[in-house]
Amino acid sequence: NDKCTRCYWLGEDPEVTLHPTFDNQNDTVDYFCFRGVDNFNIPGFGEVVKVNATGARLGMEVDLFLYFGVDDCEAGPGNALDYAAAVGGDSEEIKWSETNSADDGVYYIAVHHYGEPSCYWPYTLSVQGLR
């Protein structure tokens, strides 16, 4: 899952918690993807995508990026719907609210790591699809 096109598939509007690891010191990003189904669209009461990364080991910093579609994912952070990139700490959170348009499609999550890779220690990734 080191490229957008090789993302780890999470299914349709998942509600899942994973414990991935980075493969090696050169593995700087993991990609996950899911299909979002827009079921509810009233302004102020729309659906939300939530992504949390916690449990990074001491010396390892992770940042999260959420993309809509493979083209935006491959284009990189400037095209993200939302991101969480706080300095320090062991957790990041994205809470993205849908637009007033149809938001059906494939969403991509990129987890970037910086510093010590801690490849033998998992981090915790929780994903709630468009709900």
HSE at residue 44, side-chain half, CA atoms within 13 A, is 0
Q: Are 46 and 23 in contact (CB under 8 A)?
A: no
Average pLDDT, the chain: 88
pLDDT in tens, 58-78: 767 889 999 999 999 999 999
> Confidence band (pLDDT; 50, 70, 90) for 130?
confident
Residue with the larger pLDDT of the pair 123 and 81: 81
Q: Are 35 and 10 in contact (CB under 8 A)?
A: no
Percent of the chain with pLDDT over 90: 58
Predicted TM-score (pTM) of the model is 0.92
Nearest one of 3, 18, 8, 25 to 123, comparing CA atoms: 18
Q: Which amino acid is at 116?
A: E
Is the pLDDT confidence value at 45 over 70? yes
Is the pLDDT confidence value at 19 over 80? yes
DSSP string, 76-109: -GGG-SEEE--SSSS-EEEEEE--SS---EEEEE
